[in-house]
Structure formats: C-alpha cells, structure tokens
Amino acid sequence: MTKGKDLKPHIGIFGRRNNGKSSIINLMVNQEVAIVSPEPGTTTDPVKKSIEIFGIGPAIIVDTAGIDDNGELGQKRVQKTYDALKNMDCAILVITNNEFGFYEKELIVRLREFGVPYLILHNKSDISPLDSLTREKIKEFSKATVIDFSTKTNQFLNDLIEELKKTIPETTYQKSSLLGGIVKPNGVVLLVTPIDSEAPDGRMILPQVMAIRDVLDNDCICVVLKETQLKQYFEQEMPRPQLIITDSQAFSFVNALVPSDVPLTSFSIVFARLRGDFEHYLAGTPTLSNLKDEDKVLILESCTHQVSCEDIGRHKLPKWIGSFTGKKIHFDIISGLNSIENLSQYKLVIQCGGCVVTRKQLLNRLKSAVDANIPVSNYGMTIAYLNGIFDRVIEPFIKINA
C-alpha cells in the first residue's frame, strides 16, 4: 500500500483477523466503508478512508489484513500489512478476548522499528471486558495506552479520539514552514520556474505552489519568473531578493546570473530540509566524488509519472553523474514507496524532493540505507554538487542551524 499523493496523517488499524478492525473504522467515519463479516480474513489489502478528526484535522484511516493470517496467500497479506507500517504516522493495535501474545508483540516490535506511535484497543468489551491480568501482561511489554472499547455504542468513541490526539505526533498535522527562519517579512523571494516538457500543462508543480504560499505566509513579496527572465530582472534594477529558489535543473544557468552575495537554493533542497533526512544528505552527497567504475547508484522517486527524455531521475541524473565522474556507473530506479531490496549493492542512494509524501514516510524509506551506512543524497543536493555549487546552495540552511 502506497500513500499516493495524500499528505494527510495516516492512522493504521492493525490486529488479528475478526477482531473488529473494519467495524472500528466504520464507527469512526460514521459510514459503512469497510466490509464487515464474521468470516475471518475479509480484509485482504490495506484500504484507506478520509476522515476529519476534531483537534487533528483531515486524516486517513487505513484498514489492514489480519496479522495472524495463515497459508501462502495469508502470509502475503500479512506482509502487505507489515509493509504498510512504514507509511503510518500513528497506529491502533486492536485486541479482543484478552488475547495478547506473539502476533501483537511482533507487530509492536515492528512499530518500534519504524518509530510509529501507537495505542492498544481492547475491542468487543461488551462480550469480554479487559481484565487486570491482561492489562498487566501488556504493561510488561509496552508502555502504550490501553483502552477498553466496543463498537456497539458511540460512548467509547470520544475516548478513542482523545487518546489519538495524545498519541499522534503534533508535527504530523501541524503546518510546517518551508522558509521559516530563512526569510524575513517584507523581503523579496524570487522563484525561478523553468517550463520544459516535464512541466504539466496549464499548472505549476506542487513544490512551486507550496513555495508561493509559504513565501506569502512569511509575509514576504513573491516574484515568480522563468529562468530566461532572470537576467532582465537584475538589469531592470528590481528589488534585490533576500533569497532565490530555482528548479535544480537550472542551477548552472541561474548560478551564473545571480550575484554571489544573494542566497540561492532550490525547491528540492527546501523540501529536503522540511521532509527529508537533511543531515544525512549533507554527509552523503560528497560520495559522488568517490564513485568508481561498475559502482551502482539507486535513484528513488516518490511518485509515479510518465517518463520523457527530459525526466530528471531516469535520464538527466544518470547522464550528469556519468559525465561528472567519468566512470561507468550502473543505475537502478524505484518509484512510489515500494520496498528496497539488496541495498548492500549500492554505493549511493539518491532520493527525490519528496513533495508528495510525508516526512515520516520519506525517513522510513531511507532508514534501511542509513542503518546500513550507505550514503544518501537528494536530487537538489546532487545536482548542486555536480555543478560545483554545493556549499552555496546549502548555506542558507547552515546559517540558521549554526
């Protein structure tokens, strides 16, 4: 299950088959959106539904297959459930009949691995209430909040919502600023937005739109132009920008026109600071200078799209890296949020800006590489390094962290 292009926090419902996970979702959204059946294993793939939670805002509830499914097909369902964990911002572990054992402990271990906060819901309390022995058993293994619950009445729902608000990280649903701490009110921020075959017809791409809004939210003056108009901007003695953000692919052209005392960066690097593993990007990017013949580089795209000859990840980056290193480098490309296998074969992992995913999803996607001490970078930092302006484009962010 991939998150697609939905930036709302994701709350996953996990537990054994027939524990009432789908009924809980139907109660939360007040609709029959999940199939409910006494037959175990009704839910086969992760299914998601939008919901508005008072105090949190828009969110996505994700129903998953039972963690105790069996047989060859059942194990594939369980694996899909575990794969969904890394995309969750919060989880609800559903138990019933005072059962807390191997399956629940295995899930909790994986939740901890991906840093997913969770609470435990003892469902069907109208049939079998949570007893003190089970509560103590849970307490020995987990510090999570445990709630006795029943879908037969709405009286338990408020308690669940209140605990969710305490459990889900506020950073997941509170708006973060792309440029907070970098720009000051009333200054000009100039956005350079090239229009090529990769640009969608009649609209701007998400990073550009979000940057425009963030400039305005920081009470700055936003100027948007194409790279071909940049020289004219400076020749006409327009207000001096306090920051210029460009598409990374135009770095070489824009860098030559922008005075050295005007801060310059890219949309990709701005997003790396907001959602990416910025510190590991900083450390990993110089690995580009150490690549050798036959080394393998993995390029990660967060979204899926049609590919053209100007595609940055599949065509331009491999070409530029090959030219920069003078080596025969092999490239693999993975799109979406699919699992990464055989990481040890790669000398470098390069992640896109991640504008269509959450910080949690992006960090968890890179986690296996970071844990294996494989250097990571992102599109913007890689392109800046290849153009010899790496120090310049990260300077605005280094200053505010100094």
Cα(396)–Cα(183) distance, rounded to whole angstroms?
9
Q: CB of 114 within 8 A of CB of 367?
A: yes
What's the mean pLDDT when you consider all of the chain?
A: 86
pLDDT in tens, 97-127: 999 999 999 999 999 998 899 999 999 999 9
- Tell me the CATH architecture of domain 10-173: 3-Layer(aba) Sandwich (3.40)
For 99, phi and psi rounded to 5 degrees? -95, 115
pLDDT the model gives residue 298: 95
Domain spans, the chain = 10-173, 188-270
Q: Is the pLDDT reported for residue 304 higher than 60?
A: no
Q: CB of 34 within 8 A of CB of 49?
A: yes
Cα(287)–Cα(296) distance, rounded to whole angstroms?
12
Cα(100)–Cα(350) distance, rounded to whole angstroms?
41
pLDDT the model gives residue 369: 92
State what percent of residues in the chain have pLDDT above 70: 87
Alpha helices in 195-330 (DSSP H): 206-217, 230-235, 251-257, 267-275, 278-284, 317-325
Q: How confident is the model at residue 31 (pLDDT cuts 50, 70, 90)?
A: low
Q: CB of 59 within 8 A of CB of 71?
A: no
Lowest mean pLDDT among 18-22, 30-34, 238-242: 30-34
- Is there a shared CATH topology between the 10-173 domain and the 188-270 domain? yes
Q: What predicted TM-score, i.e. pTM, was given to this entire model?
A: 0.65
Q: Report the topology of domain 188-270.
A: Rossmann fold (3.40.50)
Q: CB of 8 within 8 A of CB of 58?
A: yes
State what percent of residues in the chain have pLDDT above 90: 53
pLDDT in tens, 197-230: 565 567 778 888 889 999 999 999 999 999 999 9
pLDDT in tens, 234-271: 999 899 999 999 999 899 999 999 999 999 999 989 88
